[in-house]
Chain A
Amino acid sequence: MSNVNNFEYAPAPESSALVDIKSEYGLFINGKFVAPKSGKTFTTVNPATEEVLAKIAYAELADVNLAVTAARNAFVKTWSKMPAAERGKYLFRIARILQERSREFAVLETLDNGKPIRETRDTDIPLAAAHFFYHAGWADKLSYAGHGSNPKPYGVAAQIIPWNFPMLMLAWKIAPALATGNTVVLKPAETTPLTALLFAEVCQQAGLPAGVVNIVTGDGATGSHLVNHPGVDKVAFTGSTGVGKAIAKAIAGTKKSATLELGGKGANIVFEDAPIDEAVEGIVNGIFFNQGHVCCAGSRLLIQENVQDEVIEKLKNRMNLIRIGNPMDKNTDLGAINSSAQLGRIKDLAESGDIEGAMRWSPDCKLPTSGFWYPPTIFTGVSQSHRIAREEIFGPVLSVLTFRTPQEAIDKANNTPYGLSAGIWSDKGSRILWTAKRLRAGVIWANTFNKFDPASPFGGYKESGWGREGGRHGLSGYLKGQY
């Protein structure tokens, strides 16, 4: 028995033996895994260790052609002709398989992405399954979704998803597309393709008709082939505002419509009458959840100046408890940065904070020697004009600003080209409603942050994107309404 009051949590690693990672993966086209025409491959690594996990097929134009053709055939011959209730059954089946194989998916996501197993196990994978369940229910009720009595699918949807929530973003894209009767060619992010490829196996297991879901792996060039393909009717993209703008330009003047979920610089507003301890928890959740790789992260903290000291002191104490390290350990709170490129961007922007005169603080923490890591960091004394208050960092870096009056909070929160998310912390209901009405953000949380539900539409104002995903509103992105 130790006399030291030190509750060191012994390592509690989840087993990586739960997944069978193949050494090489093909493209998933027309219900089968096939080799890329060029034979080219690239590797995906575990960002926590830099170990290579697998060789991944690199899709070029010829492969994209095959995938779009397969999707078109499936749409014309099978999927659009199938009774809606039957489509729903496939979605229910996929949802159930995701639940049954959730541990496998969680482990694979953590290995490929670097995020903690606690998050993949408790958030990413359960929510992904929930999206399939939710949309399965919609499949035969689309006439009642508010898009006319007989809304029609677009046809072939090209979907491009990011690396921050690989499986969850796949579910956000594929579930509504299939429920509404579209077929899909999906390109996962270059650094995180593995759960999408495991999902391809789930499609096979569910007996989904060949070609309804196709998965092509590659980089930006692959995505560009897909977006520009004349056989595509609909583009859905989640990623950076820069790429989103390029996509919007590329499809201008074509028949294609687009849903874009882009960047954000969410304001988390803490009023003096807030439940301070829970607000601190919400601040931590807002910026350190998923290493801050969250487009709706609460990356700007706006604190009413008269409670600033109390909030910052409690925030620092709370940050001292964040457990950084092996993402496979069930007690890890903050995992690895997804790639060295992203780590470089975070470092650059954080350095600009130092140069522009903001004050940096991080808890004492030992970072692993291999892999890509960044400590949880806050900058106080940040002004609206600082780069770290304006540009999306997409990492565990929080910019702290203050305000004096509710109107000033609104003005500062809205003073950004983005408009994806915001948080309000106050015990006063009238103040929450007053504030929410004036914030230009697609998602506003009151006394919580980063909570998601398939029934709740998600999307941005201004340069944070076009359209909504989830809920009844999200269906409109995949339906041609007849009003």
Chain B
Amino acid sequence: MNSTLLPNYSEASLRNFLKTLPPVDQVGASARVEMLATRSIKTSSKNWAIDLAIRMVDLTTLEGADTPGKVKALCAKAVYPDPTDLTVPSVGAICVYNDMVKIARDALDSGGGKHIPVAAVTTAFPSGRASMEVKIQDTKDAIANGAGEIDMVIDRGAFLAGNLGLVFDEIKTIKEVCGSDVHLKVILETGELVTLDNVRKASYLAMLAGADFIKTSTGKVAPAATAPVVYVMLEAVRDFYKMTGTRIGVKPAGGIRNTKDAIKQLVLVNEIAGPEWLDPSLFRIGASALLNDLLIQRMKMRDGYYASPNYVTLD
């Protein structure tokens, strides 16, 4: 948390601070990301980017139909994404609902994945519509069961109604529950904030309140991690670092399904936030289908031809 930027965290001082942020021009932002999407990443850089992207994947299952069996299978995949090639790195984290945290933690610990954290979605994910007591308890449960990372949602209704203090306080409270050992990712649900100006403001609100990561989406709302949204969030963490000396991470989630999209994200990170953010400690990609495409492309780079999808495991 940063006391340097604000005199206090009253609603008025938050509002005044957010007003000092420059506006975002939607057309210009889109033009910039379209230009960066033309970067051509080949040969050695592609190999490097694919392995980095694998290390950045938060391998996710967030379904009502999730079962212990499904989660255990995903954990096995997280540790050894390609069991035939042990040079493939493990993914960044496993991301599950609160009640699956313990199952995932145990599966990882017993399957050689002690180094992989479990991220839990809490605070009445995905809508965030619950009392603060419930949100706190939701988070406490997850941590007690072994979650090393918490993906919380903000109260978009409060943000859109202008209750910035409420949004701020919720994030701050959840960060206090997390403490310094558990990483807090704050989901802005940009598909519901709609404008890039809102994305910028919500990013700063979350960073000021103590977020370790800002995350685009729950994956339950479309559009999710669009390139202009990620661009604005990467600018926010870059400029916040200049103001405070603290580096906040970014996690796009939802809609990044293939290697090409993942590499486009890495190009954005490289040219907007800067190369320091090209690390799983500062950039994650929330995804499920993406991992298999990364593996197929990795095999293609190694062998020179595309393998049948039967050569990568379902989960």
Contact = CB atoms under 8 A, between A and B. Distances in A.
Interface of A: 1-2, 5-12, 118, 122, 273-279, 281-282, 321, 330-331, 427, 447-448
Given A7-B48, A282-B28, A273 B40 contact: no
Interface in B22-79: 22-25, 27-29, 31-32, 38-46, 48-49, 51
15 contacts: A1-B87, A2-B48, A6-B275, A7-B266, A9-B40, A9-B41, A10-B46, A122-B38, A275-B22, A277-B22, A277-B28, A278-B29, A279-B28, A281-B32, A427-B23
A278 B24 contact: yes
B155 interface: no
B43 A10 contact: yes
A1 B45 CA distance: 10
B38 A118 contact: yes
A292 to B, nearest CB: 18
Contacts of B25: 275, 278-279, 427, 447
B137 interface: no
B266 A331 contact: no
Contacts of B266: 7
Contacts of B279: 5
Nearest to A428: B23
A9 B38 contact: no
Contacts of A275: 22-25, 28
Main SS class of interface, B: helix
A189 B194 CA distance: 49
Contacts of A9: 39-41, 45
Contacts of A2: 48
B109 interface: no
Nearest to A7: B270
A281 B278 contact: no
Contacts of A7: 45, 48-49, 266-267, 270, 275, 278
B28 A281 contact: yes
A8 B89 CA distance: 21
Given A6-B275, A278-B29, A331 B39 contact: yes
A442 B266 CA distance: 40
B176 interface: no
B189 interface: no
B99 to A, nearest CB: 35
B223 to A, nearest CB: 20
B138 interface: no
A6 B44 CA distance: 12
A24 B269 CA distance: 47
Closest 3 CB pairs of A and B: A278-B28, A12-B40, A275-B25
B271 interface: yes
